[in-house]
Amino acid sequence: MTAVHDHAAKPDLTRNQSLVFDTLEGADTPLTAYNILDRLSGEGLRAPLQVYRALDKLLDLGMVHRLESLNAFVACSHPGCDGHATVAFTICEKCGKVSEINDEALVASLKSLTVGAGFVPHKTTVEIRGLCSECRAAA
């Protein structure tokens, strides 16, 4: 059984983990580890390893997601979501806006497809790239 994480009641995070999470939570677009390091250099974070360690723990806690295609991170937008075995995102190729999709039908469909193929996934991340409604309207 997967633990349920409640981001509002942050678990006991280290100072660096809290700084990294707060930076991601306040960002308008996904951030790379080096973007995070740049934003937190005034807070005493000087080495990429400090950021990567914090990100690893936040990923384990289900508080952030890694966008594979961008090699960047976003704060989870669904506090209390169940374990993040399957997560999906829309990524605007013009403005960089990322939206997390929480859809049980999508999860069930992906599970059915993989189980039907005799495959047991440990984690599924779907990234859908295109244009958001704001960028489409401005075109």
> Could you check whether 15-75 and 86-138 share the same CATH topology?
no
pLDDT, position 5: 42
CA distance 133 to 101: 15
Q: What is the pTM of this model?
A: 0.83
pLDDT, position 83: 56
- In this prediction, the residues of the chain whose per-residue pLDDT falls under 50 are 1-6
CA distance 79 to 130: 26
Q: What's the length of the chain?
A: 139
Q: In what order do the strands lie in the sheet with 98-101?
A: 98-101, 86-92, 124-130
Domains of the chain, by residue range, sit at 15-75, 86-138
* Domain 15-75 architecture: Orthogonal Bundle (1.10)
**CATH superfamily membership of 86-138:** Ferric-uptake regulator, C-terminal dimerisarion domain (3.30.1490.190)
pLDDT, position 1: 31
pLDDT, position 2: 34
Q: Rounded to 5 degrees, what angle do the CA atoms 38, 52, 68 make? A: 95
CA distance 137 to 33: 32
pLDDT, position 10: 65
